[in-house]
Structure 1
Amino acid sequence: MFANGMRKRLSLLPEAAGDGTGTTEGKEPALRLAVLGDSVAAGVGAAHHGEAMAGHLALALSQLTGRAVDWRVTAKAGATLATARRSLPSGLTDPMTRWRPDLVLIVAGTNDALRLRRPRAVRRDAEALVRDIRLRLGEDVPVVFAGLPNLTALRSLPRHTRLPLALYVHVLDHQLKTAATRGAAVFHLPSGAPPACPGPWFAPDRFHPSPDGYRAWARILASRLATLTETVVPSPG
């Protein structure tokens, strides 16, 4: 009952508009970043991808590293790790332009929590998703799980629902961490919580980020991703 009600309420906002690609200014060659996942990766709560997760993340990463970032989104609102595996990896490459990512960021797992999927099943799905990405891209492309957000500050849910869900999301996030330890060049980056200071951090559904919320979240991920890229995706030259 809870999961069905949540999914119905969260399906009211559309995904971000646009083709889900872009490039920031910076030193060449550009870092090619693919963002794969659920409604957060798809930019629900933002008008277009430039003000959603991928656009803000690319801009913040470019500012921190000095490199141009050529980004691409392959995402679907409502996707679980399992459905992402079945339908999204094909969008990681572009056969027409021979575009291939240097780095893949996976933003998924919250819908698994809303569906109350078992932790071990979530870990297996995460590991299988990494394997499918490897089959398409090869073993040399780093894969990064964005840690699931801390939901304790999500006031849109009743307290009796919010706290148990936040604990369950934490349990599933631990499964993503475990999945990351079981593969070469697979990583997990904590996402943190929404900013504690007052601000328009949430979209009208009071669940997905607003453009300001995406910017704040992207900056947290970019600060950690920038350090990681220096090691696993060194700039040529």
Structure 2
Amino acid sequence: MHAPFWLTTALLSPILLYQGKRARRDTPRLPEASGAKSGQYGEGAPEFRLLVLGESTAAGVGVATHKEGLASQLAIRLHQRTGKTVGWQTFGVNGIRLGNLLNTLASESLPPANSIVLSMGVNDTTGFTSRARFRQHLQTLRAAIAPLSPAPITLLSVPPMEKFTALPSPLRHIMGWRARQLDRIYQDLAKRTPNDFRYLNYPTVEDPSLLASDGYHPSQRGYQFIAEALSEQDWGL
């Protein structure tokens, strides 16, 4: 079924390898955000707890502090929309794949949450994680974090990497093709097992003013843009 993808990738492999090495060499590697990885908006005990897990976006790459990152920015908008006290926590590792995230989480002590959001897929795309393994990792993650939250994991769509203009063509188009394949796994799991997963489109950040200096990750305004779009979804508050 995916023979055209692998055939095209094989034919273009010399170009893709060259472009990949050059992109890694030339793209600035920004640090993860610093500061507290948790907080709340509103007074008293949180009425809603949000936990964001994942790769560079969960790690706050592109901004100085986690307060400017995705979890915090989504939490403040949910608080503003509902008036409820919203607690937030984020856990992310820049450059990590889903399988390695599973291993890392095994040694972490994370709090219970009303909603757990997963922001993953870019590194599994660039690392060519197999579709079967990606699906299995997602199911393993659901079982592992079930004690933290009975609610479905919110899967943020894999970013459309063909729009990552910091990557040259044809590399970004091959990566976009692969990202769509992994994203379809998200959609299929959400459709087949809605008690375990739900799927949300991740807003595409294309405006250069919403990108950090590497032209790849969201800037402070970019995270605000993403959080605003996500806050319009139903979070069960």
TM-score by length of 1: 0.82
The code of the aligned residue for 1:103 comes to S
2:193 paired with 1:186: no
Does 1:159 pair with 2:165?
no
Hey, what's the Cα distance between the residues in 2 that align with 1:31 and 1:90?
25
1:176 aligns with 2:186: yes
Does the Cα contact within 8 Å between 1:26 and 1:66 map onto a contact in 2? no
Structure-2-length-normalised TM-score: 0.82
Instruction: Return closer, same or farther for 1:64/1:4 CA change in 2, 3 Å cut-off.
Output: farther
Of the structure 1 ranges 183-192 and 120-129, higher mean CA displacement relative to structure 2 is found in 183-192
Query: How many residues were matched structurally?
Result: 219
Rg comparison, structure with higher value: 2
Distance 1:6 1:31, change over 3 A: farther
Q: Distance in 1 between matches of 2:114 and 2:50?
A: 6
Which residue of the partner structure matches residue 148 of structure 2? 137
Equivalent in the alignment of 2:30: 13
Aligned to 1:215: 224
Q: Identical aligned pairs, as a percentage?
A: 27
Q: Which sections of structure 1, spanning at least 5 residues, go unmatched?
A: 94-98, 231-237
Unmatched 5+ stretches in structure 2 = 1-16
Alignment of 1:8-157 (within 5 A): 12-25=29-42, 29-88=46-105, 91=108, 93=110, 99-134=111-146, 136-137=147-148, 140-157=150-167
Structure 1 residue 185: Cα displacement: 4.0
- Which stretch shows the higher mean deviation, 82-91 or 36-45? 82-91
Please tell me the residue identity of whatever aligns with 1:222: S
Residue identity in the other structure for 2:122: T
Give RMSD over aligned pairs.
2.3
Against the structure 1 CA distance between its residues 26 and 19, is the aligned structure 2 distance closer, same or farther, given a 3 Å change threshold? closer
Contact persistence 1:74–1:91 (CA under 8 A): no
CA distance in 2, matches of 1:124, 1:69: 31
Q: Is the 8 A contact 2:42 2:86 kept in 1?
A: yes
Deviation readout 1:128-152 (Å, 9 max, x if unpaired): 1111111x426x2332111112233
